Amino acid sequence: MSTDFTTEEIKQKYDESASKYALMERVQEFIGVRRLRRRLLRRVSGTVLEVACGTGANFPYYPDGCEITAVDVSPEMMDIAKQRAEKLGLDIDFQLMDAETLAFPDEHFDTVVSTLTVCTYPDPIAALCEMERVCREGGRVLLLEHGRSDNRLVGRFQDVREQAHAKQLGCHWNREPLELVEQAGLCPIATRRTFLGIFHEIEAK
Ligand SMILES: C[S@@+](CC[C@H](N)C(=O)[O-])C[C@H]1O[C@@H](n2cnc3c(N)ncnc32)[C@H](O)[C@@H]1O
């Protein structure tokens, strides 16, 4: 079975597993992802686009005063995100949209955020090019991504298990986020790798 899923197939997978995503968030919390989200989102300002917002795991960490638009392809994931925004008292503009064809004008946002998604986009370079396009000159694209570990053994394990892992939710865990960012024409200005080199915080312009 090919794990090169289309966006429609990814949408279906996330719709089906949205109710179980809270469990995945707990695993992420356990390995320290919450702290990484908080660190990244401190750098947000102005008008913000969050691409592939999922269930809204980033929402608690946005600084006050941001004007947030959030997009995702999965209505079920977005429903959970809407509930979370309501609980947090956040007024977010939600739109169902494919990250690879964003329906916004060029240079529309001050900050573009995407977390734990470059692994899943069917065409990650297309999605990153879109983020670059809708971010204003002088703005920031902020990414928190996971990829192939720089630990030889862990990286090898990810390679061997790539297909089995990707079969579940289309997550290609041995992609190289930094290389993809550069291939998309973004210019990383601050990067940090943690957790066996698996997680990348990337601030790009
Ligand atoms: C692993 S979840 C990450 C969610 C969230 N960003 C987070 O940090 O928890 C991946 C999300 O990407 C969304 N997604 C995948 N491909 C997409 C695309 N082409 N356009 C928009 N959303 C997409 C999925 O629906 C899902 O909500």
pLDDT at 116 over 90: yes
pLDDT (average), residues 135-142: 97
Which numbered atom of ligand 1 lies nearest the CA of 25? 9
Q: Is the CB of 68 under 6 A from ligand 1?
A: no
Q: Which residue has the higher pLDDT, 118 or 22?
A: 118
* Of residues 199, 105, 203, the one with CA closest to residue 145: 199
* Centroid of ligand 1 to alpha carbon of 107 (angstroms): 22
How far is Cα 184 from Cα 128, in angstroms, rounded to an integer? 6
pLDDT the model gives residue 174 = 94
pLDDT at 1 over 70: no
24 Cα: distance to centroid of ligand 1 (angstroms): 13
Domains delineated in the chain: 7-204 (3.40.50.150)
pLDDT, tens digit, 9 for 90 and up, residues 80-115: 999 999 999 999 999 999 999 999 999 999 999 999
Q: What pLDDT, on a 0 to 100 scale, did the predictor assign at position 2?
A: 74
Distance 126 CA to ligand 1 centre (A): 14
The Å distance, Cα 53 to ligand 1 centre, comes to: 6
Q: Is the CB of 131 under 6 A from ligand 1?
A: no
CA distance 176 to 188: 14
Residues 6+ apart with CB under 8 A from 65: none
* Spatial CB neighbours of 166, under 8 Å, sequence gap ≥ 6: 3, 172, 173
At residue 146 the predicted structure's pLDDT band, cuts being 50, 70 and 90, is very high
Residues 171, 119: contact at Cβ < 8 Å? yes
